[in-house]
Amino acid sequence: MNEKTSDAESNSYNNLPDFVGPAAFGIKMGAIVSGTDLSSMILDKIKKVNNEGLLDDQDVLCITESVVARAQNNYVTLSRVAQEVREKLELSSEGNLGVLFPILSRNRFSLILKALARAVNDGTVTLQLSFPTDEVGNQILDEEILDDLGKNREDTISYTELKQYDYRHPLTGVNYLRFYHEIINEEGAEANIILSNDPLEILEYDPDGLIAADIHTCSITKNKVEKSCPNCVTLKDICCQGKVSSKWGLLGSNLSVAEKLKLLPKDVDDFVDNLQQSIYERTGKKLHVMVYGDGAYKDPESGIYELADPTTTFGATEGLLNRYREGVKYKYLADKLNEKGKDVEEIEKAVEEEKKKQREKDSFETEGTTPRQLTDVLASLADLVSGSADAGTPVVLVKNFFS
């Protein structure tokens, strides 16, 4: 069907056959830059989807946070970050800034570290890393090095002790210890890097101020150290106010060009609500809309947990909030009913009836169907479909998810 097909005609059928269950496909959007009218751009694409008979009530439209923030021009310079760190922690350029538990990432943390080092460019950055991996599973050393050093996970390891080893990340090939050391030095600060899993260890190096740089556990880390060093903030507390800002601060930020960081988008709740209403006005279809980031996916081969964002979902329309994906155990019920002599048609009818019943979460009928936040499931699905390379599909439509 071409784009000239009337809405009345296109609304009369769904191009997906009845035997297709939940399905997701990426929508090619083209280049999205600062200042792009993203809502209008998405509306134009959704109108085409609708004209092809592929849009229905209860579909879920998932938009990656990256294009929302980019269209908003939500970028912050490293110099502003450095200045804000200095002001918030009342540091001089000769201060000793402690940084706790950042992840190992060129995209997520290298430019943040550059800005932090710039804040104390005549002083010291005491950088404490967890080991043998960071919080999302990136390896900084292996067990062979620990054995060779005669160390265990309760010990502290200095940068000097590790200089003899050229351990490189198994996927990126980067020696992150050396990489982070060079970033700090290039800004003029002295790099003091230690490995320890005890957040209180950094207090032995007398920091003038501390930043809890972990993603999902930053509040816990801060609570542990601020009793002894009250001059402590998290990455979430930096760049969280002002015209260019995010309620998540520097958490979830990404490397950009020209010494800039792309923050997470702002005013996301308004964005999804307004887009949902505009789609309804243009197509007559009531969609769910969400803005997603990283999916909650752990790679079984590398052990890396892909969720480097503080959450999977930064905004969603009301129908998606505080809902869980759960249901009856189809395989269990099929076996149970088949054992009783029911035929296939009777089993399918019985399963549909069981779906309508309210059950306790520990019942046999729901065993194995662990309840999960609906937005986490949808964000993970959308992230896998859209990817982060050159697919060019930052908008994903999920169909038949609620059927």
Distance CA 361, CA 326 (A): 9
pLDDT for position 6? 40
pLDDT for position 332? 62
pLDDT for position 4? 39
**pLDDT averaged over consecutive 10-residue blocks of the chain (403 residues)?**
39 69 92 95 97 94 96 97 98 98 96 98 98 95 94 96 93 95 98 98 98 97 96 98 95 93 97 98 97 91 90 96 68 68 70 58 46 90 80 91 80
Evaluate whether 159 touches 193 at the Cβ level (below 8 Å): yes
Report CA 328 to chain centroid distance, whole Å. Answer: 29
Evaluate whether 245 touches 239 at the Cβ level (below 8 Å): yes
pLDDT for position 323? 83
247-275 exposure pattern, b = at least 16 Cβ within 10 A, e = fewer: bbbbbbbbbbeeebbbbbbbebeebbeeb
pLDDT for position 253? 97
pLDDT for position 387? 76
Edge to edge, the sheet with strand 157-158 lists 157-158, 190-195, 124-129, 96-100, 209-212, 232-234
pLDDT for position 297? 86
Rounded to the nearest 5°, which phi and psi values hold at 76? Answer: -125, 145
